[in-house]
Chains A and B, each alone.
Chain A
Amino acid sequence: MKQVLIVATGILLALSLTPAPVSAAAETPTYNQDVGPILLSNCASCHRPNQIAPMPLLSYKDVRPWARAIKAKVEAREMPPWFADPRFGEFANDTSLSTDEIATITAWVDAGAPEGDGPAPVVPRFSEAGWAHSDGSDPDLVYDAPFEWQIDAEGESPNFNLYTPMPFSESRRVSATQVRPGNYVATHHIVTGLLSIPPGMVVGTGSAWKDGPTTDFTMVRDPDADPEVLKKLAAARRAAASGDAEDDDTDAEDAEEDPDAAEAAAAARRGFGAYIPGVGADVAKPGQTREIRGDLFDHIFWNLHYQATGKPETARPSIGMWWSTEEATTRVRTLGINEHTSEGLQLVAEPPLPRGERRAAGQVGQGLNPLLAPIPPNAANWTVTGIGAFQNDAIIQSLFIHSHVRGKDFTWVLTYPDGREDILLRVPNYNFDWQLSYDLVEPLKVPAGSTVKAVARYDNSRNNRRNPAPHKDVYWSEQSWDDMFLATVSYTVDESGTEND
């Protein structure tokens, strides 16, 4: 009996010295001790000045007025925004709160949201200028676009391209880049890339798009160009307009001939990245730095898409660059998702038309879109599955899916060469406002002979709160009122080649 008492006393003593989870503790959580560290770790990267979030959450003074709203949002798991099903995969950029963390916030709010004693929690280092590098640093070079775009209060505008000079003429190695929109509310997306202005053309004054506003940063004919050059240019334009251009499928053909060189060339043209909602800085993992080839390209192109907000808006985007001296040891590649089924049908293309008729028939530059049937009115589970194939050993780094407001849920399935299947990622509630990449905590080695399937469902019914027109067919295009299926797998390979041995 004495031994039992001693053991029991020991257990009680140990329990009394072990901090109990706040949810079970009698003590009231405080901001300084409990809640502040949670919010600063998981929320403040967006909830700070010059960011997308509507209010900062950096101090007790910032947080207190929003306490009840914070409780409601975290209990509903609407904030922080994270959409992966926790049953499948672990992701490095997972900002979701644990059950204990949510319980702590709830208990704190229910107790009157006290500040508590002791020092305030330390605010992590953030860029005061609003850049989003994970280490809080400011870029080494900021390039402000030389245009400030005016967005009308009402109406729709198409995607359009502007061209601005490269800020340097050498190749610069970067560890990170970020494209900032200059106006979060009015910007649908910005994609950047690099190019050299072709002979016979210059960047000058013209319409941003047909019947669109005038800008000084569009590509126009060079008035001083050699007439012979202009003649060739006109012929090339006519050919391109008819789909008869020599280079219609040049990249695809190059890729078949020499895929590594073609992919490297594409990587060089990719520029500084993109801005889409929910996306911050693109920070390279160790060994994955990349080159910005100012030595090959003289201009940045900006593919811009803005949306009306009900009042006139302006936007001046900018690009941040963080230099690196680290050599790249590998390159992040993108697996094409090339085969598709939809609504129980294997997708099959029409036979290719003669070159001169391709563009008019929509056989040039539109990818998957022409093959997909429109989503009928009120269809709540319209399906598309994309399949990609690994012909070499690979290491999956991240997964990404893009759709518009009918996007409902997405699941990534890996099929190994022996037929086993693993679910890599499931996004049960896709959100157009948060187009996240899902970065694997442990990059996944997959053997050659594996396939990946992106299984997507779309909701064109009334049950989809984001659906603007459940009574209409939904077609497939880049416009937000249509929809898209874009799935990619980012991966690396063992560049030493040992995996092939």
Chain B
Amino acid sequence: MTTTTALPVLKPKDFASDQDIRWCPRCGDYSILAQMKKVLPTLETPRENFVFISGIGCAARFPYYVDVYGMHSIHGRAPAFATGLKVSRPELSVWVISGDGDALSIGGNHLIHAIRRNVDINIILFNNQIYGLTKGQYSPTSPVGKLTKSTPMGSVDTPLKPLSLAISAEATFVARSIDVNIKHLEETLTRAAKHRGTSFVEVYQDCNVFNHKAFDYATDKTTKDDTTLSLEHGKPMIFGKDRDRGIRLQGLTPEIVSLGKGISEDDLLFHDEHVEDPSLAFLLSRMTHPEYPEPIGVFREIEKPVYEDAVDAQLALSVENKGAGDLDSLLNSGDTWVVQ
């Protein structure tokens, strides 16, 4: 006799809902959905315990296409819905699907507060640097000078760096992947799911209608080795087609150096995902194309108390100190008097 029931073996197709997918053909979202459906069956979580919550935007349609529980909520607030759900039902695996406008513009406040509380949810930010659903206005991650319908003379707004924001909000898991890096994306989503605390993953996602090829530099086979830096824990930061260049620290500033000519791997920055101090992760999050290769991978994964654990610990402590609540004695508390 066994005491636990083995979970049924599920396949990616078991997570496909019966709804027609309405993203534009060749949208980067398809790949993210496909990798997610591969990851979910591997997480040893009953299917009914997954919940996907989204706000508004193209990415926010995601929950309709995954056959688990889902809520397509209102613009920017998904992290708040997710927090309320997770704190009420800690056993659930709660995912927030968001975009650059949803998470960083209208929902910036909720994003940083979910992260600083370290609620055990997974926030996946589809960053396409554009407003797609409203047909092509610039977003908080669009570069300065971006020409869009709402910026005919170019955007004058300084863009946000999503990972810098997350790290400064005390994020315990921060990673970046790319929609077309199928294998890497799958691994990154798996690691995000397994991390206890808020996992924040930025996915470079191509909007092939309104901002096609925005991340071409990072995905094109001919350039990507020179324009991206694969982060590996404990390894020196080396990049380039011939793996002949690296990142060295000059004071507080990273600099690109060529290996050889008196510079060895030992002179380079070594990646450490688990260092408590966020400086290294923050510094990496500020490295942007074209000045630097853009880091891809896990920037930071540290352990910290999880919000809902702390909430429930107080509930337990309160019961320990005062006993399980008794309604009659609560109603009769304070000064009372009897009228005959």
Q: Do these two chains interact? A: no
The chain A residues found within 8 Å of chain B, CB to CB, are: none
The chain B residues found within 8 Å of chain A, CB to CB, are: none
